[in-house]
């Protein structure tokens, strides 16, 4: 609803008669900043980025973001040479990290939902070959709001001739706690023929192990996990694991690699993991 031209207030008038009475109503009102300079109908766009590098952040950052948000951040290809994005999570505090699959507040990037505190992560996202924009949907509910996020985005042209599957989901974790959600998890089906590398680096010198909670885990099952698998150190995992099962892995050096591989055939839901680095 636009403000009347030249006025600084908008009146909503409630009138009732002397007859039937109902429960009434409860209305939540959000004033749209910047709507004087862009169509209000475009409110489903949180923000846009057209430059080769820049920052996207939640409204009101670093103050709390708005409840009941449903919009998308749009990244437009800066030139035809651009093939992927590098996204650095300068600050990220959205929703509850322990909610399975990020069902409450979340930012979705390349089919994966991100929530919780994820400062310091770097994510690489391929730019669709036949499209000139890529969307990151941002959803929030009506419960507690956090400080939101500030993401530094770079459009990259180098490495375009490399195998895309190795760049679709390469993520590095450097914080004490982290979460890993397989591509396509929110759609309950991971893509075929992908190779993802999740690198966990020690947050401090006295860390010696990682405790991983398998909130949900379902990959194609095969003998010796030769088809779809998640490899953690020397161990390959496939099939189905019990919900919320805990595994502990020792750091072989200063970092531990988790590698996801899928083949051409059967695809399942994937996994949602939360990790915590453990001091010696």
Give per-10-residue mean pLDDT for the chain (280 aa): 76 85 79 52 79 94 93 93 87 77 83 82 76 92 92 82 50 89 77 90 93 90 92 93 88 93 85 90
Q: What is the pLDDT of residue 14?
A: 87
Which residue in this structure is represented by tokens 């180098």? 158
Of 116, 212, 110, 206, the closest CA to residue 167 belongs to 110
The answer as to whether 136 is a domain residue is yes
3-state SS assignment for residue 223: helix
Q: What is the pLDDT of residue 43?
A: 59
Residue-range definition of the domain harbouring residue 237: 46-279
The answer as to whether 60 is a domain residue is yes
Q: What is the pLDDT of residue 117?
A: 87
The Cα–Cα gap between 77 and 276 comes to 36
229, two tokens: 């698998």
Of 14, 8, 129, 152, the closest CA to residue 80 belongs to 129
The Cα–Cα gap between 228 and 237 comes to 9
The answer as to whether 227 is a domain residue is yes
Q: Can you give the pTM of this predicted structure? A: 0.51
Phi, psi of 185 (to 5 degrees): -60, -40
Q: What is the pLDDT of residue 100?
A: 53
Residues making up the chain, counted from first to last: 280
197, two tokens: 């590398």
Q: What is the pLDDT of residue 167?
A: 43
Number of structural domains the chain divides into: 1
The answer as to whether 11 is a domain residue is no
Q: What is the pLDDT of residue 165?
A: 39
142, two tokens: 């009506």
The answer as to whether 20 is a domain residue is no
The Cα–Cα gap between 12 and 43 comes to 21
Q: What is the pLDDT of residue 161?
A: 45
The answer as to whether 81 is a domain residue is yes
CATH number for the domain harbouring residue 117: 2.60.120.290
Which residue in this structure is represented by tokens 């008038």? 13
Phi, psi of 10 (to 5 degrees): -135, 125
* Cα 117 from chain centre: 11
The answer as to whether 211 is a domain residue is yes
Torsion, Cα 85 100 115 121, to 10 degrees, reads -50
Between the CA of residue 252 and those of 13, 173, 175, 196, 207, what are the distances in Å?
68, 16, 18, 20, 11
DSSP state of 105: S
Query: Taking the CB of residue 29, how many other CB atoms lie within 10 A of it?
Result: 7
The answer as to whether 61 is a domain residue is yes
Question: Based on the number of CB atoms within 10 Å of its own CB, is 177 exposed (0-12), middle (13-18) or buried (19 or more)?
Answer: middle
The Cα–Cα gap between 219 and 227 comes to 9
């Amino acid at each position: 609803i636009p403000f009347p031209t030249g006025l600084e207030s908008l009146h909503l008038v409630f009138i009732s008669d002397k007859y039937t009475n109902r429960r009434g109503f409860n209305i939540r009102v959000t004033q749209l900043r910047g709507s004087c300079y862009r169509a209000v109908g475009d409110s489903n766009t949180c923000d846009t980025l057209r430059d080769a590098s820049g920052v996207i952040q939640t409204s009101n950052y670093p103050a709390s973001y708005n409840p009941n948000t449903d919009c998308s951040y749009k990244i437009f290809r800066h030139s035809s040479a651009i093939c992927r994005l590098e996204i650095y999570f300068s600050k990220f505090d959205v929703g509850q990290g322990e909610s399975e699959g990020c069902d409450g507040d979340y930012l979705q990037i390349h089919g994966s939902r991100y929530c919780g505190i994820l400062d310091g992560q770097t994510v690489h996202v391929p730019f669709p070959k036949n499209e000139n924009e890529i969307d990151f949907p941002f959803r929030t509910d009506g419960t507690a709001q956090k400080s939101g996020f500030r993401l530094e985005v770079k459009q990259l042209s180098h490495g375009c001739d490399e195998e895309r599957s190795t760049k679709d989901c390469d993520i590095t974790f450097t914080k004490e706690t982290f979460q890993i959600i397989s591509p396509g998890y929110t759609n309950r089906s991971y893509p075929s023929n992908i190779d993802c590398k999740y690198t966990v680096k020690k947050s401090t010198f006295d860390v010696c192990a990682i405790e991983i909670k398998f909130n949900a885990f379902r990959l194609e099952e095969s003998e010796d996990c030769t088809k779809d698998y998640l490899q953690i150190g020397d161990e390959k995992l496939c099939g189905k694991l019990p919900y919320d099962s805990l595994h502990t892995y020792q750091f072989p050096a200063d970092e531990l690699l988790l590698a996801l591989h899928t083949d051409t055939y059967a695809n399942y839901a994937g996994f949602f993991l939360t990790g915590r680095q453990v001091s010696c």
